């Protein structure tokens, strides 16, 4: 699914979380942020959020390079 990012919860199985910045609806973005903001003290939550951001940045770079190469 293009609107999901894979992340690891510290266990051996990856989970899928919605990527809030892929949605155009501001309420969805706010709701997704509120759902994870309550748990920022957990190291795994912070790392998962950073991995999602890193993945999003990387995918934008790859997409940009792809379109420039065409």
pLDDT at position 40 is 65
pLDDT at position 52 is 95
**CA 65 and chain centroid, separation:** 21
pLDDT in tens, 4-59: 444 444 544 444 445 544 545 455 555 565 555 566 677 888 899 999 999 999 99
**What span, in angstroms and rounded, lies between the C-alpha atoms of 25 and 58?**
23
pLDDT confidence tier of residue 67, bands split at 50, 70 and 90: very high
pLDDT at position 55 is 96
What pTM does this model have?
A: 0.44
Question: Which residue in this structure is represented by tokens 């709701």?
Answer: 31
Question: Which residue in this structure is represented by tokens 């942020």?
Answer: 33
């Amino acid at each position: 699914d293009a609107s999901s990012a894979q992340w690891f919860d510290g266990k051996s199985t990856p989970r899928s979380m919605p990527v809030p910045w892929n949605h155009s609806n501001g309420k969805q973005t706010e709701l997704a942020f509120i759902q994870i903001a309550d748990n920022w003290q957990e190291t795994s939550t912070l790392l998962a959020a950073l991995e999602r951001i890193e993945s999003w940045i990387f995918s934008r770079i790859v997409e940009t390079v792809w379109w420039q190469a065409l």
